Structures are given as C-alpha cells and as structure tokens.
Amino acid sequence: MDRYYVLGNPIAHSRSPRIHSAFAAALGQELSYEARLVPLEGFAREIELLKQEGFRGCNVTVPFKEQAFRAADRLSDRASLAGAVNTLSYDGGILSGDNTDGEGLARDLACLGVPLEGRSVLLLGAGGAARGIVASLLQGHPRRLHIANRTVSRAGALADLARSSPMAGSCDVSSSGFEEAEGDFDLIINATSASLSGEIPPFPGSLLHEGVFAYDLMYAPEDTPFVARARSLGAGAADGLGMLVEQAAESFRIWRGVRPDTADLKDRLRQEMRRG
C-alpha cells in the first residue's frame, strides 16, 4: 500500500490524516496517511528513514517547511518563490518539493466567488505564511498587491521578491507598515500570526467596509478576531479552513493524479470543529 505522512512538531492536532483519508475513501483509493511527530532536530534523519521505507510522499508543517525546501532534489516554481515546501513526493529515488498553500488559497477564494483578476489586494504579514501564497496571488493577475507588515523591512523584502518573480506580470507591487497601508482594496488577506494572541494587525479600519472581502489564513471554531472585525464592519469574510482542505486536495492531486471534491468535506469539517 502506498504510504503518505504529515510531518510536524507538534502534530497531534493535525487534521491532515482526517482529510486525506476522506479523499481516499471518496475516490476508492487504497493508501495510508499518518501523522508523525518529528523531533525538532530530526527532520533530515526522518526523511532518510522514510526513503528507505519507500514512502510515496508527505506533507510538511510547522516548523519543518524550510528544511523540506532544502531537502528536496527538485522544486516547483511556486515552492522556490515560497522558500518553503509543504508537499514532498518520492518517486524513482528523487525527492520533489512543492508548495500547495497558495493554490489552496486561490481555489478557496474561487469557491467563495472572490475574484483576483484586476483586483486590488492587501496582504497583511510578510512571514512564512505570506511568502507561501504570494506566487498564487500573482498568478491570479491582480491589478495591485500591497504588502503591509509590522516589521516594514520584511514587507519591502517580500515585495522585492514578488516584483522580481516571473509571475509578477504587470501587477503593481508595493509595501508599507500597517498604519500606512492605503488604497481601495477589494480583498484583504491576514497572513500574520496575530490571531494566535487574539490580536488584529493595526491597519486602518476604514479599509474594511461593504464590498471588501477579508480572508484570514488562520481558522478556529468561532470567528477569528480578524473575521469578526470584518463582519462587524459589513465586509464579507472567511477563515482558512477552506484553504486547509484545498491545499490538501492539491497535494493529493500531485501524488495520485486525481483531484478530490472538497465542498462536502469543508462543510463536514466546519461542523466537526464547532462540535469540538
């Protein structure tokens, strides 16, 4: 049986085994998918063990995505721009690295009826999560991408990287601190980890109003602070549960050559999460 894993530390609360088992069952595919807790200093060794075992692939989560990037023999363009890998495939002795986070976001936005083409996008945050989605945002051909971050120099560095990428096209890419973000944005994406401490990045509240869509990469049983603020100001909003399912579907497609349906599973996971 083909074996797949999700590697991380911590890993106990990962929903990936649940999601991939549901995909496999729905498509009648026989495979195993398990979570593995990897010691913080043990990622390279774990990969060697898995290669010896003849595994077919794995997802990689916090804090190993950069190490997975370095471990890969080959990288997709989107993984190269992300500087991080969340999907490894092992075939013919070659370890290939990809990053499906951005595709997951783009697909979830499409499901939500939120277009990117010709739109003006504000990306809050410039850490690993933000870097992971920039390629896919640019591939959606927005008119403008403004990156705002607490540490302004990091926003500038990510904007430079975006501008010099082959996906940039004619997109107007700019950067600033949160307070200085200005413009008429159609979509505001929270890629900061501020929600973890119950905070909202201090961007101007006037940017959120009816007609704007707010997307939080984080997800939780109840509305995240960012989602709650957006809704209270009349904006549309969603958290990152849909992206989680969509990035998993893209990993599944890379490994198995077939894309699972995601709509039902998103609904079921939402209900399960609310039940606790």
Find the catalytic residue in 15, 20, 56, 65: 65
Interacting stretch for ligand ATR, rule CB under 6 A, among 47-55, 94-102, 193-201, 236-244?
A: 193-201
Number of residues counted as binding ligand ATR (CB under 6 A):
15
Which is nearer to ligand ATR, 151 or 232 (by Cβ)?
A: 151
Is residue 193 at the binding interface for ligand ATR, with CB under 6 A as the rule? yes
Angle of CA points 103, 135, 67, to nearest 5°: 85
**Cα angle, residue 147 at apex, residues 201 and 262 outer, rounded to 5°:** 80
Rounded-to-integer distance, Cα 112 and Cα 106, Å: 10
CB 123 within 8 A of CB 187: no
User: What is the nearest approach in angstroms of ligand ATR to the Cβ of residue 71?
Assistant: 18
Q: Is residue 126 near ligand ATR by the rule CB under 6 A?
A: yes
Q: Can 65 be counted among the known catalytic residues?
A: yes
32 binds ligand ATR (CB under 6 A): no
Question: Which ranges constitute the DSSP H helices of the chain?
Answer: 16-27, 43-53, 65-71, 77-82, 101-111, 128-139, 152-163, 225-232, 241-256, 263-275
Query: Per CB under 6 A, does 198 bind ligand ATR?
Result: no
Provide, rounded to whole angstroms, the least separation between the CB of residue 180 and ligand ATR.
14
CB neighbour list of residue 253: distance below 8 Å, 6 or more residues apart: 259, 260
Residues making contact with ligand ATR (CB under 6 A): 125-129, 149-151, 154, 192-194, 197, 199, 201
What are the catalytic residues?
Answer: 65
